[in-house]
Chains A and B, each alone.
Chain A
Amino acid sequence: AQSVTQPDIHITVSEGASLELRCNYSYGATPYLFWYVQSPGQGLQLLLKYFSGDTLVQGIKGFEAEFKRSQSSFNLRKPSVHWSDAAEYFCAVGAESGAGSYQLTFGKGTKLSVIP
């Protein structure tokens, strides 16, 4: 079965600084990869996804992520963080779980705080 690891529970960055959130997965083939964002008191919203093609994907709100097969990683980046980016970020992996069925597994999340 696949697994997802987000090594950083909480990250604090200054407004205007760059951001990288880490995501590593365990799966034998190339999975479907997603980043979701959850603002306080809200549901999750998709930022971007990857399932084939260019390994650098662009998402909403100025975010991008790069799939690196050799490192089993799908890190999320943003060149300049805004105060409104303070939220919790979830990496998710979709992969075959057996007998032709697929499942989506979420990481435990990284909480981002932004200081002025």
Chain B
Amino acid sequence: NAGVTQTPKFRILKIGQSMTLQCAQDMNHNYMYWYRQDPGMGLKLIYYSVGAGITDKGEVPNGYNVSRSTTEDFPLRLELAAPSQTSVYFCASSHGPPGRSYEQYFGPGTRLTVT
């Protein structure tokens, strides 16, 4: 099993550009998540999904969009990139719902810089 994979590893965007961060998992998990990690701030939940076709906002969803057309893939879309979106983005998945006893499995992250 590859687990959770993310592409790209690094990206530099200009202000106003758009991009999609890719995330895939091969563990047949229904639950998938996108977090952003800023220095000294821990992880903040952007969006999550409880299954194909079902997504919901997390704590910091503004400026982002997601879709979940398959169980495996959960891409994160940035429209009109802003410097405030400079961060490290992590995708995660779990077998059961968040906040319960289920472990979340994390990808290696995408480091995004917006200049």
Contact = CB atoms under 8 A, between A and B. Distances in A.
A64 B41 CA distance: 24
Majority secondary structure of chain A interface residues (helix, strand, loop or mixed): strand
Contacts of A102: 97-100
Interface residues of B, number: 19
Interface stretch (A12-20, A77-85, A104-112): A104-112
User: What is the size category of the interface that chain A forms with chain B?
Assistant: 20 to 34
A107 B90 CA distance: 16
Given A43-B4, A43-B107, A44-B106, A103 B40 contact: no
Interface in A67-116: 90, 94-97, 101-104, 106-109
Given A43-B4, A46-B103, A9 B90 contact: no
Contact of B99 (A43, A44, A96): A96
B43 interface: yes
B42 interface: yes
Nearest to A10: B40
Nearest to B50: A101
A108 to B, nearest CB: 4
19 contacts: A32-B100, A43-B108, A44-B92, A45-B106, A46-B103, A46-B104, A49-B101, A49-B103, A90-B43, A96-B99, A102-B99, A103-B45, A103-B99, A104-B45, A104-B98, A106-B43, A108-B40, A108-B42, A109-B42
